Structure 1
Amino acid sequence: MMRITAGVLMGALLSTAAWAEPVTLRLGHAVFEQHPIHDTAIRFKEAVERLSDGDIKIDIFPSRQLGDVKELMEGVQFGTVDMTVNSTSAYSTLEPSIDAFQLPGLIPDYEGFVTMAKSPEARAIMDKLENHMMVALGVYDGGQRHFLTVGAPVESLADMHHKKTRVAPNKMFLDAWQAAGVNPTPMAYGEVYSALETGTLDAVEINLTSIESEKYYEIAKGVSLTGHYFWPSFLLINQIKFNSLTPEQQDIMRRAADEVVEPQVMAVKDLDEQIKVHLDELNIPVVAPSAEFRAELQAAFAPVVQKYEAIDPLIADFAAAAKQLTPAAQ
């Protein structure tokens, strides 16, 4: 009888890894195909399949086919879904340091977002998700957020005061907008249109891509380009699934995710410019805040930033790096 030694066993394992079977991964997300999140998924799929010569395939399931934001988060965490591109704000309940990506008033523009998305400070935060059985391959963007009103566009902090404003249900967002003097109103995304239409809401902080895709311009009367924070999303894979890949396959996944960051984010910037033109054609006022208004907002948000910096050193590190950013030349 042949004796199986440790060396023979290791050789067999290495041989198996070298001749690993092709892999197909299922990636779900919760938005329509016109959204930047879908664009992220498409760009990642194309990069992975190119770099792997087709040995790794990504099947994309958009529009909540595999679940909504919460169901996708839990699906990837527990392994019933292989991968997702999902809003970062959904994960701050698991890891508070994730709030760093949306600290108000810190990242000035899309170029700055790219810098921070590729930074060691961002990587340190993303690595925390491995404590929850997920590997974050990268962080991307769905659009810089602005202030949309059913009345005239706001042009000062005083104009914002007491406006019933929809915010996503996240503690940091509530803190930020209370500090700015608005009346922040958490509300499900799908209810926003009717709430603006009926007067339940006066305003919503939102990205231009959503103003376009959700047709909020049918109700809105003004957009103020406050650019207060971005709407990032993680590209995530279940940790057990990722560990089942060969080292070469894992490297391809990481390289593809990194390759996609800058073109995906800058494509959203280009889309914003197209939407501004469309809003102008619809006679929707789009105004750039004055230097005084920007200073007012920064002053209002500053105590909130300080509060969250004190919560976690990873947030403080991210904020310190973001404060060194300078706006890109226009």
Structure 2
Amino acid sequence: MIDRRQLMIASAIVAGACAAGAPALAQDVTLRFGHYAAPADTAHKAAERFAELVAEKSGGAMAIEVFPAGELGNSPTMLEGARLGTIDLVLTGNPYFTGFAPVLNLLDLPFLFESDAHAYAVLDGEVGQALMDAIRPSGLQGLAFWELGFRSLTNNVRPIREPADLKGLKLRTTPNPAHIKAFETLGANPTPMPFTEVYAALQTGTIDGQENPVNHIYASKLQEVQKYLSLTEHAYTAAPLVMNAMRFNSLTDEQKQILHEAALEAAAYERQLNDEEEAGSLEGMRAAGMEIIEDPDREAFRDAVADVTRAAYVAEHGSELLDKAIAAAKD
């Protein structure tokens, strides 16, 4: 869990950013915040909580306008907008950052994290800070790691119980190299596309299936257009909350501190919601008629993809961050 120590780390981050920033502005501030999630999704609930916290901590001098469900564009478009400064804040899945900060591909390696606690130890610690630092040269200031969670598979062709069941399936994936390589290795046909296009693609049969965390699947109503859910939990997806760096550096030290603290507190809130709502999401999908495979052969999936995707990452980025992320499970 994010605790006072994490808030102290945020203070240090802010101090460093302030030293390098442009002259501070003292007037009231309104920031536009775009994200991918449906209004029922825990990410949107956390975004609303973030806006409330910023207003409370600033005494009403700072306001966050939240635009959910891709209202400001799909994930690649919103990220580009944040880099250019046409959008102030963006939340989206980690895979969309790997095009311009490829070292972040670490977080998407299949079967890297053993549990939520393991993921949070990495994201909230030294490795997470190194990855946030890697985003900054692209014109973005990282505020906190939010999450989507552990990803599972849905499709309309057959129940997925073992790797062989994926052969030939056309699956929407993120554009992340680790995800694409994993599903190619498993014999599927990975098809990257923005999430805002997935429902229609499933409805029309353009793709057979997709993979996402349980709560995200349910909140996005994919149970309306999918028959089978297999709880593979094959990869974890973090969601960096980022801000246009020039806009961030134009703020006062106090305003920067408020944003960092609110972002961390909202991250903890979202993690709690995801934990609380998973059982209800599964029950809702079951009630909607989905067949849920609760015990696929996860070890077989792990054996098929973990080593090959890690080797590809190490060849590109070295093993230092990967080794630290693995070791965090033992801390």
Matching residue of 1:97: 103
- C-alpha spacing 1:156/1:30, structure 2 compared with 1 (3 Å): closer
Residue 280 of structure 2: SS of its match in structure 1? helix
Query: Partner amino acid for 1:98?
Result: L
Matching residue of 1:6: none
Residue 105 of structure 1: SS of its match in structure 2? coil
Q: Which ranges of structure 2 fall in alignment gaps of 5 or more residues?
A: 1-22
Matching residue of 1:311: 316
Structure 1 CA distance for aligned equivalents of residues 88 and 172 of structure 2: 32
Counterpart of 1:108 (choices 109, 114, 135) is 114
Stretch of structure 1 that moved more, 128-137 or 114-123: 114-123
State, as a whole percentage, how many aligned pairs show the same letter. Answer: 28
Matching residue of 1:79: 85
**Superimposed CA distance per residue, residues 216-255 of structure 1 (whole angstroms, 9 cap, x where no aligned partner):** 3234332111111123222111111111111222122212
CA-CA distance at 1:138 after TM superposition:
0.9
Residue 141 of structure 2: SS of its match in structure 1? strand
**Superimposed CA distance per residue, residues 111-155 of structure 1 (whole angstroms, 9 cap, x where no aligned partner):** 333222212101111112211111010111123210112244221
Q: Which ranges of structure 1 fall in alignment gaps of 5 or more residues?
A: 1-15
Residue 238 in 1 paired to residue 238 in 2? no
Structure 2 CA distance for aligned equivalents of residues 77 and 187 of structure 1: 21
Stretch of structure 1 that moved more, 209-218 or 146-155: 209-218
Matching residue of 2:291: 285
- C-alpha spacing 1:95/1:60, structure 2 compared with 1 (3 Å): same
Stretch of structure 1 that moved more, 293-302 or 105-114: 105-114
Residue 299 of structure 2: SS of its match in structure 1? helix
Query: Partner amino acid for 1:224?
Result: S
Counterpart of 1:299 (choices 299, 303, 308) is 303
Contact 1:176/1:304 (<8 A) preserved? yes
CA-CA distance at 1:264 after TM superposition:
0.9
- C-alpha spacing 1:188/1:55, structure 2 compared with 1 (3 Å): closer
**Superimposed CA distance per residue, residues 169-198 of structure 1 (whole angstroms, 9 cap, x where no aligned partner):** 333221111122323233454554455455
Structure 2 CA distance for aligned equivalents of residues 171 and 128 of structure 1: 17
Residue 187 of structure 2: SS of its match in structure 1? coil
Query: Partner amino acid for 1:123?
Result: Q
Structure 2 CA distance for aligned equivalents of residues 37 and 146 of structure 1: 18
**Superimposed CA distance per residue, residues 14-62 of structure 1 (whole angstroms, 9 cap, x where no aligned partner):** xx96x92222222122433222332232122122222222222212222
Residue 149 of structure 2: SS of its match in structure 1? coil
Matching residue of 1:5: none
Structure 1 CA distance for aligned equivalents of residues 175 and 96 of structure 2: 9
Structure 2 CA distance for aligned equivalents of residues 193 and 70 of structure 1: 18
Contact 2:36/2:195 (<8 A) preserved? no
Contact 2:152/2:231 (<8 A) preserved? yes
Stretch of structure 1 that moved more, 81-90 or 277-286: 277-286
Residue 146 of structure 2: SS of its match in structure 1? strand
Contact 2:105/2:177 (<8 A) preserved? no
Contact 1:48/1:57 (<8 A) preserved? yes
Matching residue of 1:256: 262
Residue 44 of structure 1: SS of its match in structure 2? helix
Structure 1 CA distance for aligned equivalents of residues 270 and 219 of structure 2: 18
Residue 183 in 1 paired to residue 189 in 2? yes
Query: Partner amino acid for 2:133?
Result: D
